[in-house]
Amino acid sequence: MSTLSMIMQALGLQGLLGADVPSSPESLLSAPSSAIESFKNEIRSAEGFKDKAYIPVKGDVPTIGFGFTSGVKMGDTMTKEEAEERLDKEVNTRLSEVRKALPDFDNYPEDVQTNLLSSWYRGSLVQSPKARKLMNQGKFSEAADEFLNNDEYKNAIKRGRRGIRGRMEQTANAIRSLASPRSLL
């Protein structure tokens, strides 16, 4: 039983959310399908789909599909169906990784989970061990500030990656929201 489930049970609130909060970070199957679709929709929206490998900005690596970079080389092509299959695998892999890095991930509200997974997917949260450490200590406001305290965020406009700032700010706001109690109703 997760910490949140135990607290809700102690307060007589079990079942209020419709089901117990997942306690096992073992597999993608333990996440509700609506959450998984939310994760994938966020990635589709943020990354867009490209059927041919391209370089997003000068100095970047070849990218294809929904922002895939691993194993991609210029000249590669990908159908939308292939991209959807790879997205399923990528979300499964990344979800497992983020759950290991943030053991309370499954206790966070779905909108926060979606932002965190999206940032993990693109590498921002992976590259921020101090922010992750602060989150695991429950220091969410400090973690949000630390998440934005990096060169990728600071130099995004200069590097022609203006969109990164908005995504990172959205994630920082989601992290910061964990510092404030949320209404259960």
Average pLDDT in the chain: 83
Instruction: Quote the domain boundaries for residue 119.
Output: 32-177
Tens digits of per-residue pLDDT, 66-107?
A: 999 999 999 999 999 999 999 999 999 999 999 999 999 999
Domain count, the chain: 1
- Residue 129, in any domain of the structure: yes
Give the residue from 152, 158, 91 showing the smallest Cα distance to 127: 152
**What integer pLDDT is reported at residue 123 of this predicted model?**
87
- Residue 20 domain-assigned (yes or no): no
Span 131-176, pLDDT tens digits: 999 999 999 999 999 999 988 899 888 888 888 899 999 999 999 9
| Residue 103's CATH number | 1.10.530.40
- Nearest to residue 127, comparing CAs of 158, 148, 154? 148
> Is residue 17 one of the residues assigned to a domain?
no
**pTM, rounded to two decimals:** 0.75
| 12 assigned to some structural domain | no
- The CA-based angle 96-126-110, given to 5 degrees, is 55
**CA quadruple 185, 116, 119, 146: dihedral sign:** positive
pLDDT(18) > 50: no
pLDDT confidence of residue 32: 56
pLDDT on residue 1: 45
